[in-house]
């Protein structure tokens, strides 16, 4: 099928003249390899997607993405937090913790989501095999903030400890994703392998 060349298409060019613009605008063709489908977007914003770290894309700015959407990820296993005596934590960047996790437990699945909330679901697997879901408060991973130097956060410099603690305590997902747009990410072209890697490589 021969497609029209819209640059030579008179009605469009007349419309462009009426709008008083010489610019053609910018568009990206839908490519399911790099663009989320409608149902994938709903899944990410509702119950989330279980992914191994190697399936999560690391963008050049070190934030995390699935196709053309940034995401946050967390380990949804309640037992993990109980056993490690850690408060439930989500990750927003490629950090030292995820790097180690990818090395030690490459098959561990994280829940990726675009839902910005105070509480997230944790799964509890009882010895009987029965699975229950409960909501729990979360904090942001400080290694992620260090990775991004978010608001100049530094987890190692003593001189800045007080300041960095303030950044950590006042962290808000809405503010973070206003700075790092969640969706849609525009690549202009298929992202080259050199520009974005995956965790665990």
Contacts of residue 133, Cβ cutoff 8 Å, sequence gap at least 6? 121, 122, 123, 124
Query: With binding defined as CB under 5 A, does residue 141 bind Zn ion?
Result: yes
Query: With binding defined as CB under 5 A, does residue 97 bind Zn ion?
Result: yes
Q: For Zn ion, give the closer residue by CB, 67 or 143.
A: 143
Q: Which among 28-36, 43-51, 84-92, 185-193 is the span making contact with Zn ion, rule CB under 5 A?
A: 84-92
Q: For Zn ion, give the closer residue by CB, 65 or 144.
A: 144
| Interacting residue with Zn ion among 95, 111, 148, 168 (CB under 5 A) | 95
Q: Which among 54-62, 90-98, 111-119, 185-193 is the span making contact with Zn ion, rule CB under 5 A?
A: 90-98
Could you give the C-alpha distances from 144 to 22, 89, 92, 105, 176, in angstroms and in order? 43, 11, 6, 19, 12
Tell me the two tokens of residue 17.
């003249």
Maximum C-alpha span of the chain: 70
**Cβ proximity of 72 and 91 under 8 Å:** yes
- Residues of this chain that interact with Zn ion (CB under 5 A) are 91, 95, 97, 141, 143-144
């Amino acid at each position: 099928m021969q497609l029209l060349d819209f640059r030579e298409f008179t009605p469009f060019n007349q419309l462009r003249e009426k709008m008083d613009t010489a610019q053609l605008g910018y568009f990206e063709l839908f490519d399911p390899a790099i663009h989320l489908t409608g149902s994938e977007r709903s899944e990410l914003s509702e119950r989330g997607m279980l992914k191994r770290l190697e399936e999560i894309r690391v963008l050049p700015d070190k934030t995390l993405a699935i196709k053309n959407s940034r995401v946050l990820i967390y380990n949804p296993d309640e037992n993990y937090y109980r056993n490690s005596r850690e408060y439930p934590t989500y990750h927003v960047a490629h950090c030292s913790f995820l790097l180690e996790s990818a090395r030690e437990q490459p098959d561990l699945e994280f829940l990726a989501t675009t839902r910005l909330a105070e509480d997230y679901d944790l799964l509890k697997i009882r010895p009987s095999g029965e699975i229950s879901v409960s909501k729990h408060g979360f904090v942001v991973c400080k290694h992620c903030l260090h990775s991004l130097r978010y608001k100049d956060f530094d987890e190692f410099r003593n001189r800045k400890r007080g300041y960095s603690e303030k950044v950590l305590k006042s962290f808000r997902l809405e503010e973070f994703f206003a700075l790092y747009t969640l969706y849609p990410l525009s690549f202009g072209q298929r992202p080259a392998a050199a520009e974005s890697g995956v965790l665990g490589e």
